[in-house]
Structure 1
Amino acid sequence: MSNETAAEAREITVAHAPERHRYELRDGDATIGFTIYRRLQPGQDQVVFVHTEVDDAYSGQGLASKLARFALDDVKSSGRRILPLCPYIAAFVRKHHEYDDVLDVPAQGEAETEEARWSK
Structure 2
Amino acid sequence: MKPIFESISLVKNAEKKRFEIEMNGSYAFINYGEFGNQVALVHTEADLELEGTGAAGAVVEKTLHYLEDNEMELLPFCPFVFAYIKKHPDWKRIVSRKFKGYDNL
Same fold (TM over 0.5): yes
Q: Which deviations, in whole Å up to 9, do the C-alpha atoms of 1:35-81 show, x marking residues without a partner?
A: 011023xxx21100011100122111111111000011100110110
Indicate the residue corresponding to 1:83 in structure 2.
75
Q: For 2:11 and 2:34, how far apart are their aligned partners in 1?
A: 18
Equivalent position amino acid for 2:18 in 1 = R
C-alpha contact (below 8 Å) 2:21/2:28 kept by paired residues: yes
Give the superposition deviation at 1:33. Answer: 2.0
Within the candidate set 29, 32, 52, 2:44 is matched to 52
Indicate the residue corresponding to 1:14 in structure 2.
10
CA RMSD, aligned part only? 2.2
| Bigger CA radius of gyration | 1
Which is bigger in relative contact order (C-alpha 8 A, separation at least 6)? 2
Q: For 1:92 and 1:77, how far apart are their aligned partners in 2?
A: 19
Indicate the residue corresponding to 1:24 in structure 2.
20
Where structure 1 has 5 or more consecutive residues not aligned to the other structure, the ranges are 1-7, 109-120
Where structure 2 has 5 or more consecutive residues not aligned to the other structure, the ranges are none
TM-score normalised by structure 2 residue count: 0.77
C-alpha contact (below 8 Å) 2:73/2:95 kept by paired residues: yes
Tell me, yes or no, if structure 1 residue 37 matches structure 2 residue 32. Answer: yes
**Residues paired across the two proteins, number:** 95
C-alpha contact (below 8 Å) 2:26/2:50 kept by paired residues: no
- Secondary structure of the 2:15 match is helix
C-alpha contact (below 8 Å) 1:45/1:79 kept by paired residues: yes
| Identical pairs, percent | 25
Q: 1:86 to 1:47 in 2, by over 3 A?
A: same
